Amino acid sequence: MVRPRALLPIRQTRSGDGWCDSSSHPAYNRPVRFPFEASAETMMRDDRLYDFVVILDWNVTSRARNRGSAIFLHIAKPGYPPTAGCVAVSPKDMLRLGPFLRRKARLTIKR
């Protein structure tokens, strides 16, 4: 995927990057590195869904256990099957959104 233009900080995902989804761990809903002792989602994926990810501020700034973690804006699977709580768009739409994404921006999600 072409790197989108964005006003957000951009960091290349590396092998070993993860996101802790274990609500009992101190790193809950935070980025982590593998190997990791608790449950965590792998950020470098063969299906390329996380080629461009925006971490949405759901339960990030003020974390609360069991309120959900890893709520991202990311690339959709073909056919747009449901996600596990994330927002997913086509690579083309992600490129179109990129220049509008910035800290404190509010996204309104409509079906």
Q: Which of 74, 75, 94, 98 is catalytic?
A: 74
Q: Which of 4, 86, 94, 98 is catalytic?
A: 86
For residues 57 and 15, what is the distance between their CA atoms, to the nearest angstrom?
24
Active site residue 20: no
Helix runs in the chain, H state only: 91-97
Amino acid occupying residue 106: R
Beta strands in the chain (DSSP E): 17-20, 31-33, 40-42, 54-55, 72-75, 87-89
Active site residue 86: yes
Catalytically active residues, by annotation: 74, 86
